[in-house]
Structure 1
Amino acid sequence: MPVITAVIRAKAGGEAALGAALLDVAAHVAANEPGTLDFFVGRDPADPAVFTTYERFVDRAAMDLHNGSDVVARFFAIAKPLLDGPVTLVIGEEISAKGRPALDA
Structure 2
Amino acid sequence: MKTISAILRARSGAEDTLRAALLDVAAHVAANEPDTVGFFVSQDEGDPTRFTTYERFADAAAMDRHNGSEAVARFFATAQPILDGEVILVTADEISAR
- The aligned runs of 1:21-36 (5 Å cut-off) are 21-36=21-36
RMSD after superposition: 0.3
The answer to whether structure 1 residue 65 and structure 2 residue 81 are counterparts is: no
The answer to whether structure 1 residue 12 and structure 2 residue 12 are counterparts is: yes
* 1:36 aligned partner, one-letter code: T
The answer to whether structure 1 residue 53 and structure 2 residue 19 are counterparts is: no
2:79 counterpart SS class: helix
1:68 CA drift (Å)? 0.4
1:34 counterpart SS class: coil
1:36 CA drift (Å)? 0.2
1:52 CA drift (Å)? 0.3
* 1:19 aligned partner, one-letter code: R
1:76 CA drift (Å)? 0.1
Partner of 2:94: 94
* 1:31 aligned partner, one-letter code: A
Mapped to 1, the partners of 2:82 and 2:23 lie a distance apart of: 15
Over the matched positions of the two proteins, sequence identity in percent amounts to: 65
Structure 2: 5+ residue runs without aligned partners? none
Partner of 1:39: 39
Structure 2 length as normaliser, TM-score? 0.99
Question: Which structure has the larger Rg?
Answer: 1
Mapped to 2, the partners of 1:73 and 1:88 lie a distance apart of: 17
Mapped to 2, the partners of 1:43 and 1:15 lie a distance apart of: 9
Mapped to 1, the partners of 2:44 and 2:93 lie a distance apart of: 24
Partner of 1:101: none
Give a deviation string over 1:62-88, Cα, whole Å, max 9, x none: 000000000000000000111000000
Partner of 1:82: 82
